[in-house]
Amino acid sequence: MDKILLAHGGGGSKSAELTRKVFQRFLRDPLLLEMEDAARLPGQVFTTDSFVVKPLFFPGGDIGRLAVCGTVNDLAVMGAEPLYLSIAFIIEEGFPVTALERILASIAAASRASGARIVCADTKVVEKGKADGLFINTAGIGRPVFRQPVRPSRVRPGDVVMVNGPLGLHGISVLTARGEFGLRASVRSDVAPLWGLIGKCRALDVPFMRDPTRGGLAQTLNELAHGRRFGVRIMENELPIPKKVAAVCDLLGFDPLHVANEGKVVMVVAGADAERALKILRRHPLGKGARRIGEITAAHPGRVVMATRSGSERIVMPPVGEILPRIC
Amino acid sequence: MAEKNRLAALADRLRHFPARPLTKVMEVCGTHTVAIRRAGIQHLLPETVKLVSGPGCPVCVTPDHFIDEAVSLARRGVIVTSFGDMLRVPGSRSSLEEERAAGSDIRAVYSPLDALEIAAASGRETVFLAVGFETTAPAIAAAGMMALERKIANFSLLTALRLVPPALQALMSEDARLSGFLLPGHVSAIIGRQAYGFLAARRLPGVISGFGAEDIITSLLHLLEMINKDIYKIVNTYPRGVRDRGNARSRAVLAQVFEPADAEWRGLGLIPSSGLRLRPAYAALDARRRFAIRVDGAPARKGCRCGDVLRGLIDPPACPAFNKACRPDRPLGPCMVSSEGSCSAWVTYG
Amino acid sequence: MCLAVPMKIIEIKGEMAVVESAGLRREVGITLLAKARINDWVLIHAGFAISKLTRKQARETLALFEEGRLFG
């Protein structure tokens, strides 16, 4: 490969290829190679993420809210309480101050809601045309508090796969907010800080959690299953896909399993704790739609399979390239 | 829950259907290929039934040459607009996705109307890659007419439109072992049940089907029953979208702008009168006339057997390159990269 | 490539109409239909209405939709 393609940023298998073939030739720290959502340091977890979403404002949120929640959630899914964030802005010359203020208000509110303190920051300004308005990077530190380690190596057949609510909202929200494909709709992004919800499960046995952002549920489940001795089996009938998401996906030919979420967590919970987990999740505003969507199985190791509505089966592959560019 | 039970009951009936030995059914719509594999319907077929995919993916049947023409335009600074899945199809040397990375202005659109708006807004030469079957050709014709009415002079079409019935006839002549066809729901919305009379004359039953799992299973059951009883009819199980006479207005719009032309189909070769070209009155819309595109002859791509897959001669896994040298993230041919390509469907859904 | 979905016409503006389904709206061309009226359910493909559902089919479509079963 000699040029970076938009597809390399899509979160699917092309992104994974870029990481493997280019980045990992130079950046080879063992902690980095674990490729989890955050790095496990002694007594803390540490992560970073950048946000280039277009448009900057969409129903349910904006780039500021996204920048806080994205990083906070990457810590939360490691079973870590988010403590501190850094934030860095790259602003395009000519960007309106009123828009910046709106975004900062959003950042402050999200930071308060998440419990993480923003303790260092930086700002750069670049010439007109070089930053599409605004780019934000955040990095975060969290403290692991889950009693049992959240490590995919602990996942076993019989564990239950669950999700806290409806899928596909963020990606479709941004797509329709852009007015792309001439579609007008008001679909609210689900962008939200998840520690308040996830933290409530800290006493349970939860071997795996991940937020299904770019690449959607399909990407996340495949990341879990890849190279492992277990397989993942989900039930099409159990997947919570809202009508609006299904309608847009049908119209444009997208697979809802490939669409990004920013307020969702996929949890693999030990069988014995599954019912309790669902009860705990459903008591929280961000978990009202929590449901079991499948299980870990000894069959088809390394693969994700879906039981279809027609009583048959099919495999679930991760998306290949960009489905929707710049959704987070 | 009645729907779940109905679907389960249909699936069960299909599983246990007493089909004749050596029953070979062909589906000819890329959207059906995907719908079938997404629902896992191929696993529900009785043992003696083989389901093959035909050349129903318009992107897949377009020869390399077309991509090369599009690439050539992109490199000349023309805005190239296209349906999304053309972008990753490899031409003989490059793909539109790669050209975009190299700086060309290439944009995915959902509708030719969106391409028209891009032309109107930018004022720059804008070409729309007009690819599709009878479902899409009238829409492209209508957009072309709007361009002329609105005097948007910087909009043109690079055409590679194809017609389904001539391809079916070519397939029928080639493969005497086909027992029947699952017919495309939305192509049929335009051409109507009336367009398939030639199948019955050749003792081949056909069922026009919608795209939900229930629709497809119901249609397959109808087809297998006709095959068992030697009934050669064309049945429409998708009256919601398809009428006997199709959509005459759409056909009229299509016929005003386009006329039949010989066309090359990947895998099937040249089929007379199987494509569409712009009528002389609409020559102003022809990108090939406007830009005098020159493209070198393309070397045949080694190892790509899309042609055989498109004819239903081999299943994707029988191609030596399948999922090895040819994968969705680095495809050799269009069957692997198009969202409706058979090879892509096999890899994606199993 | 033959994706078409049923949507309802809620506004007509000359050669174009606004169609709606599940809160989703798009402007589409209606020149491919002989007749198009407000409240007609039509199949939308590539930004155009290509086929019209009968009244009965429209009622069935709506029922499917309300039960959340229209799509997929």
ipTM given for this complex: 0.91
Q: What is the CATH number of the domain that holds C25?
A: 2.30.30.140
Shortest alpha-carbon distance between residue A146 and chain B (Å): 36
**pLDDT mean for each 10 residues of chain C (72 residues):** 85 96 90 95 94 82 62 44
**Partner residues linked to A144 by β-bridges:** A80
Is the confidence at residue A84, as pLDDT, over 70? Answer: yes
Give the nearest chain B residue to C61 (CA atoms): B240
For the stretch B244-276, pLDDT in tens is 999 999 999 999 999 999 999 988 889 999 999
CA B296, B300, B306, B307: dihedral to nearest 10 degrees?
90
Number of domains in chain C: 1
CA pair distance B274, A141, nearest whole angstrom? 63
* Segments in chain A forming alpha helices (H): 13-18, 24-26, 30-33, 63-76, 97-114, 169-177, 195-198, 216-225, 243-252, 274-282
CA pair distance B179, B23, nearest whole angstrom? 6
Cα angle A42, A45, A47 (rounded to 5 degrees) comes to 140
Give the CATH H-level superfamily of domain A37-144.
Answer: PurM-like, N-terminal domain (3.30.1330.10)
For the stretch A6-49, pLDDT in tens is 778 877 778 888 998 999 999 999 998 887 888 999 999 999 99
Shortest alpha-carbon distance between residue A258 and chain B (Å): 12
CA pair distance B30, A267, nearest whole angstrom? 35
Mutation target for B interface from C13, C28, C51, C66: give the one with most B CBs within 10 A: C51
Exposed e or buried b for every residue in B214-249, given b needs 16+ CB within 10 A?
A: bbbbbbbbbbbbbbeeeebebbbbbebbbbeebbeb
- The identity of residue B233, as a single letter, is K
Stated length of chain C: 72
Cβ proximity of A314 and B37 under 8 Å:
yes
CA pair distance B34, A250, nearest whole angstrom? 13
Domain A152-315 has CATH 3.90.650.10: yes
Q: Is A253 on the interface with C (CB under 8 A)?
A: yes
Q: B14 CB contacts (<8 Å, ≥6 apart)?
A: B41, B44, B45, B46, B217, B220, B221
Write the residue in A185, A187, A251 that is nearest to C5 by C-beta: A251
| Domains of chain B, start order | 2-56+173-236 (3.40.50.11750), 60-163+246-291 (3.40.50.11740), 306-349 (no CATH)
CB neighbours of residue B263 within 10 Å? 24
Stated length of chain B: 350
One-letter-per-residue 3-state SS of A107-158? HHHHHHHHCCEEEEEEEEEECCCCCCCEEEEEEEEEEECCCCCCCHHHCCCC
Cβ proximity of B179 and B52 under 8 Å:
no
pTM higher than 0.90:
no
Q: Is B88 on the interface with A (CB under 8 A)?
A: yes
Inter-chain CB proximity C1 and B30 less than 8 Å? yes
Shortest alpha-carbon distance between residue C21 and chain A (Å): 7
Cis ω for the linkage preceding A30 (within 30 of 0): no
Domain of residue C51, residue span: 5-71
Q: Compute the average pLDDT of residues A92-113.
A: 97
Q: Where are the domains of chain A?
A: 37-144, 152-315
Residue B191: pLDDT band (50, 70, 90) is very high
Q: Compute the average pLDDT of residues B21-49.
A: 93
- What's the token pair of residue B156? 């043109």
Cβ proximity of C65 and C21 under 8 Å:
yes
Mutation target for A interface from B36, B323, B346, B349: give the one with most A CBs within 10 A: B349
* Sheet with A80-92, side-by-side order of all strands: A39-41, A44-51, A134-144, A80-92, A117-126
- The identity of residue A112, as a single letter, is R
- For position A41, what pLDDT does the model report? 94
- What's the token pair of residue C12? 């007509």
Residue A181: pLDDT band (50, 70, 90) is confident
